[in-house]
Amino acid sequence: MPYPPSHRDKTKAAIVRVARRLFSRFGFDCVSVDQIMAEAGLTHGGFYRHFASKSDLYAEAMQCFFTDPGWDSAWEGVEIDRTAADIGPQIIRAYLSRQHFEDIDNSCPMIALPSDVARAGESAKRAYETVFKAMVELLARGSRGDQHLDRTIALSIAALCVGGMVIARASDGRTFADEVRDACMEVALRLAGWDDHARSRQPHHEA
């Protein structure tokens, strides 16, 4: 019996989901095509019906909720309304949340994979840049009506979010990691003028 037309797309999406999780935890070099396909419950040969190489898959795995509305690796207790006018403070609080910090398998790839991307080819670097620019674009929408952030501020906030989480993840002590996250969140919200407004709409509740 032939597979339905949607089978190919679903299979490819499953491979990307598994690869994203494995890359986030172990990095590009330490994950093989065999591992990815076995984890997805598929055969090695089926990989090349969807991707020309592991590098091509790596570039597709470089997604987050900024670029993929169907991204299903949400962090427990964290909700982000992509259509909301106040998405800016939602992004900051969600991105620097304890839940995101702890959920390594479902990390935004900008946190988990920067060193890999720096050594990777142009396709991975373009994918990384696309995700970061999408984050900047969402932040630049502002939080009240037609208010929009200056691009320099939006870029700075995005860098605070990503860089803050990279440093927090690289820290040995949990107390210091939490301090880094909290400091970056406070400064980012203040920089955008969202520090008071954002408290009325929090996308998560930390334990």
- In Å, how far are 45, 51, 141 from 1, measured between CA atoms? 20, 25, 49
CB 42 within 8 A of CB 11: yes
Neighbours of 115 (CB within 10 A): 11
At CB < 8 A and 24+ separation, what contacts does 133-137 make?
Answer: 134/64, 134/66, 134/67, 135/64, 135/66, 135/91, 135/110, 135/161, 135/162, 137/66
**Distance (Å, whole) CA 87 – CA 183:** 20
Q: Is 127 helix (H, G, I), strand (E, B) or coil?
A: helix
Residue 4 exposed, middle or buried by CB count within 10 Å (0-12, 13-18, 19+) = exposed
**Distance (Å, whole) CA 75 – CA 94:** 8
pLDDT of residue 73: 54
Neighbours of 174 (CB within 10 A): 12
Give pLDDT tens digits along the chain (207 positions). 555 667 788 999 899 989 988 998 888 888 999 999 999 999 988 999 999 988 889 888 887 777 776 665 568 888 787 777 788 898 999 999 999 999 888 888 888 888 888 777 788 888 899 999 999 998 987 655 556 788 999 999 999 999 999 999 999 999 999 999 999 999 999 998 888 644 444 444 444
- What domains does the chain contain, in order, with CATH numbers? 7-61 (1.10.10.60), 87-200 (1.10.357.10)
The secondary structure of residue 3, as a DSSP letter, is P
To which residue do tokens 């939080």 refer? 143
Amino acid at 193: G
Model pTM? Answer: 0.80
CB 60 within 8 A of CB 127: yes
Write down the number of H helices and E strands in the chain.
10, 0
- 157: tokens are 């906030």
